[in-house]
Amino acid sequence: MSLQEQQNNKRIAKNTLLLYFRMLITMAVGLYTSRILLQNLGVEDFGIYNVVGGVIAMLGDCVELYD
């Protein structure tokens, strides 16, 4: 294995670990904000908030398909 291949492998491993770390942080922030929203909105309003968010996300995907 050449020196260039070793450097590429190290860079790939480093980037992979950073991506996993970023994903972990994103999930933790998402869970925390969900908890805060649920506490402040209540069960019923939180459900409506999630339904509206889901519909907007689906419409956003549909708009992307037709662009």
In tens, the pLDDT along 4-40 reads 999 999 999 999 999 999 999 999 999 999 999 999 9
**CA–CA distance, 12 with 66 (Å, rounded to integer):** 35
Q: What are phi and psi of 34, to 5 degrees?
A: -65, -40
Q: Is the pLDDT at 67 greater than 80, yes or no?
A: no
Instruction: Tell me how far CA of residue 40 lies from CA of 7, 9, 55, in angstroms.
Output: 49, 47, 22
In the predicted structure, residue 55 carries a pLDDT above the cut 90: yes
Position 50 scores a pLDDT of: 95
pLDDT at 39: 95
Q: Which helix (H) or strand (E) holds 2?
A: none
Helix H or strand E segment including 1: none
Cβ–Cβ < 8 Å for 41, 49: yes
